[in-house]
């Protein structure tokens, strides 16, 4: 890859303080606007619950106020390139899932400068904790769903592999042995393979639509924030690129799974810079015979479904809800 331009270097340096951090602050503040509060939309929120002893090991719980029977448990992992945002910035997505009939845990995890496996170990600890205490929150751990977008999609898919595949990591083996039933995974707009990030620029250039240099540079920075180097992953970094593990499983190069992969719904925008990861995921799941849907939304970019004003956000949410009804209740849309 060519050396970064001055614009790329400046954007990388100031991306957080000038762009992402203010965006996260605005997202947190927006929940207090009239008729935007989760409580005004029929959702109760219990903030700042613990899933571990470390100060960052927190989650916020969202639950439909009118629900009485135990509801499916959904763990949600925010995006932000392993560097930005937090559980509070994604309150709108958590509220939407709760309104769809879930007890939602919006999970905090360590960000850069912490690298893999720190974020994956945090979300694994959250899943183990919530599997143990789900009934205290009116949730059913035997109907667990994992959801995330972008970097959060990577973490959600990695947890699903911990549950389904024999893995040597102790925290992964603990998930495989936990008393929970993983019913579905929703890795939306996922950055699912952190190795060789320059491949995204090559993918779009081959189609006559080269990425803007700043966007291409950001993708490289996301990989660098998660693993020490972003060459094809060493064995100890395998779960940092869960897509590669699924492709290895499809090729017969990984030990057989302990249990089948759960159904997967991976929405993505047609002009998402990391679209190719989701296309690869769909191909691997087809080869494995896994129940899956990979809807591609026209003229939609990265994480578009988290923007309520986007014209494709509504169809994307309807598609996710229909998928969840089908796999959880056996009901069509």
Model pLDDT, residue 1 = 44
Reported pTM: 0.91
Q: Going along 189-297, which residue ranges are E strands?
A: 264-265, 268-269, 292-293, 296-297
Whether the CA torsion 312, 200, 276, 243 is positive or negative: it is negative
Q: How far apart are CA 233 and CA 224, in angstroms?
A: 12
Phi, psi of 139 (to 5 degrees): -115, 160
User: Distance of CA 193 to CAs 118, 120, 190, 219, 239, Å?
Assistant: 17, 14, 9, 11, 9
What are the residue ranges in the chain where pLDDT is below 70? 1-36, 41, 229-234, 331-333
Model pLDDT, residue 88 = 86
Q: How far apart are CA 43 and CA 274, in angstroms?
A: 33
Domain boundaries, given as residue ranges, for the chain: 32-194+235-327
CB 147 within 8 A of CB 117: no
Model pLDDT, residue 26 = 52
Instruction: Report the candidate in 82, 7, 78 with the shortest Cα–Cα distance to residue 306.
Output: 78
CATH architecture of the domain with range 32-194+235-327: 3-Layer(aba) Sandwich (3.40)
Q: How far apart are CA 222 and CA 225, in angstroms?
A: 5
Q: How far apart are CA 273 and CA 193, in angstroms?
A: 13
């Amino acid at each position: 890859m060519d050396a970064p331009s001055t614009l790329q270097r400046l954007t990388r340096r100031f991306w957080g303080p000038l762009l992402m951090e203010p965006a996260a602050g605005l997202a947190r503040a927006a929940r207090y606007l009239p008729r935007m509060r989760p409580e005004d939309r029929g959702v109760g929120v219990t903030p700042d619950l613990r899933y571990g002893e470390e100060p960052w090991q927190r989650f916020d719980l969202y639950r439909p106020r009118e629900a009485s029977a135990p509801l499916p448990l959904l763990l949600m992992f925010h995006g932000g390139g392993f560097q930005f945002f937090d559980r509070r910035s994604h309150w709108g997505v958590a509220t939407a899932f709760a309104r769809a009939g879930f007890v939602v845990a919006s999970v905090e995890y360590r960000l850069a400068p912490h690298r893999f496996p720190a974020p994956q170990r945090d979300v694994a600890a959250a899943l183990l904790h919530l599997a143990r205490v789900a009934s205290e929150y009116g949730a059913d751990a035997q109907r667990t769903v994992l959801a995330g977008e972008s970097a959060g999609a990577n973490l959600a898919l990695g947890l699903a592999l911990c549950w389904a595949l024999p893995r040597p990591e102790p925290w992964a083996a603990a998930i495989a042995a936990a008393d929970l039933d993983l019913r579905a995974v929703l890795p939306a707009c996922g950055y699912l393979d952190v190795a060789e990030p320059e491949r995204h620029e090559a993918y779009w250039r081959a189609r006559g639509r080269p990425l803007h240099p700043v966007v291409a540079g950001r993708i490289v920075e996301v990989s660098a924030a998660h693993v020490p180097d972003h060459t094809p992953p060493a064995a100890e970094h395998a779960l940092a690129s869960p897509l590669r593990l699924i492709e290895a499983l499809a090729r017969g190069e990984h030990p057989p799974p302990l249990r089948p992969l759960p159904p997967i719904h991976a929405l993505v925008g047609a002009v998402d810079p990391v679209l190719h990861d989701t296309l690869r995921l769909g191909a691997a799941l087809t080869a494995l015979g896994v129940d899956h849907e990979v809807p591609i939304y026209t003229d939609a970019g990265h994480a578009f479904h988290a923007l309520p004003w986007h014209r494709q956000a509504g169809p994307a949410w309807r598609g996710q809800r229909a998928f969840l009804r089908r796999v959880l209740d056996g009901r069509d849309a």
